[in-house]
Structure 1
């Protein structure tokens, strides 16, 4: 996987204004080997604890907007802090990790580095952090508004009206159905088969004429 090693000062370009010094303090204190990677579909970030003389290792996708980058980094730092205190004696996303993550989020919220809408969405994360970013749909929908590159003619599945058509990049066309828990049930027009879609998946809008 192509990766990029960044000196500390270059890291500032990936972070919201006002957060750099605080982030660097954590990285230096815990001797974190931070790697910024290209886009990965399966994960936004990753943590590997220190072992056999090697430092803690954190990777974060470099295509994220500054607010999503910082939140992802804090998610992984919470794993580090949990490991430092409990080693492998607790669950990866158990109560101990949730407490560490919530504390980190609160600290950076108090620094005022997030826009008001992101800050409001983060309040729920502070109360009940999700194990993965995809588990925090409302937060992701707000964060994605700050992406520098917005694809013209595309929208999140959650923003498409029920009954409207949309197209995936591979050309398959679906009709958006009802929300089932956290995912939308959609019907593929060519087969009639039903599929569930994440609320934050970006798809091409098609205006149907019913």
Structure 2
């Protein structure tokens, strides 16, 4: 199964120190059904608002380090709080959501639960939060410093031009030049060109 319910008394192991109580307060207050998923490359978390038949539902990738897990959970909680206040009358990542997400981040930054480098990057995020934490490359770089990645796993930007690398689906690519914000890479088997985020995780092929 790609998702699993998390017994609420084990949630603490996914979170940084001194954050379990305030997170639990939000989950209990809004009766959130929280699930932890296996790794998803395209999204880190997901939110589904309550209906007449169901409660609020949030999912977060369980493979994230504790700081990335918290940031992603706060991102999704901001969607919940925005729905509670505005229902579906506002844009998903409009000014209302940005303001609420900023308030949540500020609450946790105030209690100094993040290392200095993450806290500094989150201060930048407060100015204009992105629609997806996957889209904030600076924040992703800093958060990934705290990952326990195998040595062979690299970010695309860490590879030299011309290096062969493998993606999670087993396809092989050759790294090419940077075009603005992304790298143009060629799939070896087909010759097709693809654009990769600089912070996309791959495995270098010797």
Aligned counterpart for 1:168 among listed residues 166, 179, 182:
166
Structure-2 change in CA distance of 1:205 and 1:54 (3 Å): closer
Output the CA distance in 2 between the equivalents of 1:118 and 1:95: 23
Gaps of 5+ in 2: none
Kept in 2: contact 1:178–1:186 (CA 8 A): no
Aligned equivalent of 2:157: 158
Number of aligned pairs? 204
Alpha-carbon distance between aligned partners in 1 of 2:94 and 2:33, rounded to the nearest angstrom? 24
Deviation at 1:53, TM superposition (A): 4.4
Q: Give me the whole-angstrom Cα distance separating, in 1, the residues matched to 2:179 and 2:141.
A: 15
Where in structure 2 are the equivalents of 1:94-113 lying within 5 Å?
A: 94-113=94-113
Maintained 8 Å contact 1:36/1:62: yes
CA RMSD of aligned residues (A): 1.9
Preserved contact between residue 166 and residue 205 of structure 2 (Cα < 8 Å): no
> Whole-Å Cα distance in 1 between the matches of residues 78 and 146 of structure 2?
24
Aligned ranges 1:36-75 → 2 under 5 Å: 36-75=36-75
TM-score (normalised: structure 2): 0.90
Which runs of 5 or more residues in structure 1 are unaligned?
A: none
Judged with a 3 Å threshold, the aligned counterparts in structure 2 of structure 1 residues 38 and 193 are, in CA distance, closer, same or farther, namely closer
Q: Does 1:200 align with 2:199?
A: yes
- Indicate if the aligned counterparts of 1:14 and 1:62 stay in contact, CA closer than 8 A: yes
